[in-house]
Chain A
Amino acid sequence: MTRRARITLPSLVLLLTLAFVWSLSVGAVKIPASVIINTLFDLDGDQQRFIINRSRLPRSLLAVLTGGAMALSGVIVQALLRNALASPKIIGINSGAALAVLLGTSLAPDLALAWLPLVALLGGTLAAGTIYGLSALRPMSPERLILVGIAVGLVCDAGVDFIMVTASTFEISAPLVWLTGSLWARGWQHLSAVWPFLSLLSALCLCLFFRLDLMRLGTSQATALGVNVRLERFVLLAIATLLASISVSVVGVIGFVGLMAPHIARQLVGGRHGVLLPTAMLIGALLVVLADATGRVLVPPLEISAGILTALFGAPFFVFILLTSRMETRE
């Protein structure tokens, strides 16, 4: 572990903790930090304790989990495509998962919450498979993969729009909030539906860092070093798809986190995945926690969806990468 990583990782943990406490304290009802600490460690409480335990704590935990998952997914996708512009959203996995969840909830309104991650998974996997298969019809290039990904995303979005507008107004208000990427009204039941999957997958992903290092060398070098590239690529892409689609199933499409977090992490600690993965995970968690909390602070008692805020920051960030990464994308 380099010196930079030794400084960066603990400071990120500290930052995340601070953001987490801030996120618990802000919203339509402001709660001072001292009360939060009391509540978390079970010292005393009343109405505020109710708010924290029932609403903000599961929400912030979800933000940490999904933010980390999206960031990890982004690191994998960028390493596999060897392209700085790739992310689960850009290549259409998010839209596929969103379409599947929306289809699932509109066809079977009584669907248990626990099934949603699986449904999302199915959609995300289908989208990823379609993108990969269609790009392979012609000589594969990262450019084509990204463009096909955007197109598949648009097809899924068209499907989402169709379901949304044909459903009655009463039914769409909840999915609408969910689609813009929001942690509004997410509670313990949502957390319990996804945390086993997400933490398991995140841990698995962190253990696979050396494989990602090998994949970044490129197909021929990796093969020369004895890596079964096709298998590795498939396994890694599967993990990335799982992480992204399960996140989408609970918090909707919070865009650009999977794009921004890996980049910031790479600037901070460099490209070795052993430290890059945990750093990116922490940054992703930080971004989503901050976006969620900021959304509650801006115009209380209204809430701005976290997805709106990440897009407002993420899109210019994306343009910045687009303008500065000419060398990296042209391999």
Chain B
Amino acid sequence: MSHSVTAHGAGKLPRGLAVGLALAVLFSGALFSLATGGRSDVGLTDLWAPEGIAATVIYDTRAPRMFAATLLGLNLSLSGLILQAATRNPLASPAILGLNQGAALGLSLGLVLPLFSGVPLQVMALVGAFGAGVVTFAISGGFTGRMDSLRLVLGGVAVGAFSYAMVRFAFTLEDELARSVVRWTVGDITDIRWPAVRRLALWGLPGLFAALALSQRLNLMALGQASAQGLGADSRITLLLGTLIAAALTGVSVSVAGPIAFVGLVVPHLAKLLFGGDHRILVPVSALLGAALMLYADGVSKVLTAPVEAPVGVVVALIGAPWFLWQTVFARDLS
């Protein structure tokens, strides 16, 4: 299968080394996340043989949070990678295309409307994200033929603005929810415990395998619509499957931590920069790098404004928004 590798420019590092490096970064990120927190007396040295209060802090508070950050990073960066490949647009990501906001809308409808009270919240979030994605792609012409870069982003902004207005509307009606809405809308994992981690894993790991299964189709997308079709992969089906997987991954993430933006935008770029354009390697590497980024962001969020914690979503946005700006200024296919 060397053709797809050469078609995307050869990978810049051997595959084994690439994954090894990403793993090392991930591991140090995990240590950083575990070693920081509200109690500054529990640090790196307590990790090996935790006793007493340190054990409680690490097992019950920091460990679930660490795993949640890992899985969120995995989910969101894969979601972004799939969307970027399926739309062939470097600006695509769950937040820019409105998937995050759509998931938030589905979630708040599930919370507020008695009609949906029987439906699990993750499913509501998935449906919302998928709906938002389909609307955005329909606006930008994705299901008919050529997808327009500007339309894709503008459509996503419009869908996102609409969904957010609906979310705020719903929260205005529910006083109880309004209180936590500020932290939640920027993405917060402070209060995560083990059940939420299990939910993330339950959706994220199958999502990872689905993304691996889709990776060859994503490679074909890069060759252009006609070539992809010629090689037996209808780009519309790839787009639809990709949107479904991305919506599932985004949906469960939003239902646990709120809409965290920009992980899905930054990480795939970083991965492509380091490891070339083959999606069979990009999928696992993006997952690892996304997890690592979230772990570092989690650690920074605990340190940055100590003793008050900044939600991890804000930390990511402070890194990711300038990155997006950079992309729009220097992306080649826009002028």
Chain A residues with CB under 8 Å of chain B are 85, 90, 134-135, 137-139, 141, 143-144, 146-148, 150-152, 154-155, 157-159, 161-162, 164-166, 169, 172, 176, 180, 255-256, 299, 302-305, 307-309, 311-312, 314-316, 318-319, 322-323, 329
Q: Which of B144-202 contact A (CB under 8 A)?
A: 149-151, 153-155, 157-159, 161-162, 164-166, 168-169, 172-173, 179, 182-183, 186
Looking at the complex, which one of B139, B168, B327, B329 makes contact with A323 (CB distance below 8 Å)? B139
Contact assessment for B321 and A158 in the assembled complex, using a CB-CB cutoff below 8 Å:
yes
A155, A159, A302 — most chain B CB neighbours (10 Å): A155
Q: How far is the CB of B266 from chain A (nearest CB, A)?
A: 13
Output the nearest chain B residue to A83 by Cβ-Cβ distance.
Answer: B150
Q: With a CB–CB cut-off of 8 A, which chain A residues contact B150?
A: 143, 146-147, 329
Q: Are A180 and B324 in contact (CB under 8 A)?
A: no
Contact B317 A304 (CB under 8 A): no
Q: Are B172 and A141 in contact (CB under 8 A)?
A: no
Kindly list chain A residues whose C-beta atoms are within 8 Å of the C-beta of B335: 138-139, 141, 143-144
Q: Are B154 and A166 in contact (CB under 8 A)?
A: no
B48 at the interface (CB under 8 A from A): no
Contact check: which of B151, B161, B173, B329 meets A311 at CB < 8 Å? B161
Whether B325 pairs with A166 at a CB distance below 8 angstroms is: no
**Contact residues of B between 67 and 123, Cβ < 8 Å to A:** 91
* Chain B residues in 8 Å Cβ range of A323: 139
Cβ–Cβ contact B158 & A151, under 8 A: no
- Bound-state CA distance A146–B173 (Å) is 34
Which among B139, B261, B308, B325 has the highest number of chain A CB atoms within 10 Å? B325
Given A147-B91, A158-B314, A316 contacting B162 (CB threshold 8 A): yes
Q: Which of A147, A157, A308, A322 contacts B168 (CB 8 A)?
A: A308
Contacts A162-B318, A323-B139 hold; do A148 and B325 have CB atoms under 8 A apart?
Answer: yes
- Contact A305–B162 (Cβ < 8 Å): no
Q: Say whether, besides A154-B324, A166-B308, A172 and B182 are in contact (CB < 8 Å).
A: yes
* Known contacts A165-B314, A308-B172; is-contact A157 B321 (Cβ 8 Å): yes
Q: Tell me if B172 and A302 are in contact (CB < 8 A).
A: yes
B186 surroundings in chain A (CB, below 8 A): 161, 164-165
Contacts of A180 in B (CB 8 A): 168
Give the distance in Å from the alpha carbon of A169 to the alpha carbon of B183 in the complex. Answer: 10
CB-contacts of B285-329 with A (<8 A) = 305, 308, 310-311, 313-314, 317-318, 320-322, 324-325, 327-329
**Distance between Cα atoms of A148 and B322 in the complex (Å):** 11
Could you tell me if B161 and A255 are in contact, using CB atoms closer than 8 angstroms? Answer: yes
On whether the beta carbons of A85 and B154 are closer than 8 Å, the reply is yes
CA–CA, A318 and B325, complex, Å: 22
Closest-CB distance, A92 to chain B (whole angstroms): 10
Write the chain B residue with the least CB distance to A159.
B318
Chain B residues lying within 8 Å of A158, measured Cβ to Cβ, are 314, 317-318, 320-321
Q: Which of B308, B318, B334 has the most CB of A within 10 A?
A: B334
**Is B328 in contact with A150, judged by CB distance below 8 angstroms?**
yes
Q: Mark B11-25, 1 if CB is under 8 A from A, else 0.
A: 000000000000000
A316 to B135 alpha-carbon distance, docked (Å): 11
Selected from B157, B183, B330, the residue in CB contact (under 8 A) with A165 is B183
* Chain B positions within 8 Å of A164 at CB level: 182, 186
B91 to chain A, nearest CB (A): 7
Can you name the residue of chain B whose Cβ is closest to the Cβ of A304? B172
- Other than the given A85-B154, A151-B324, A323-B139, 16 more pairs (CB < 8 A) read A90-B157, A134-B329, A150-B154, A151-B325, A152-B325, A154-B321, A161-B313, A165-B186, A166-B310, A169-B179, A172-B182, A303-B172, A315-B162, A319-B139, A319-B158, A322-B151
Taking a contact as CB atoms under 8 Å apart, the answer to whether B165 and A135 are in contact is no
Q: Report yes or no: A165 in contact with B310, Cβ–Cβ below 8 A.
A: yes
- Assembly CA distance A47 to B263 (angstroms): 54
B159, B166, B173, B328: the one contacting A299 at CB < 8 Å is: B173
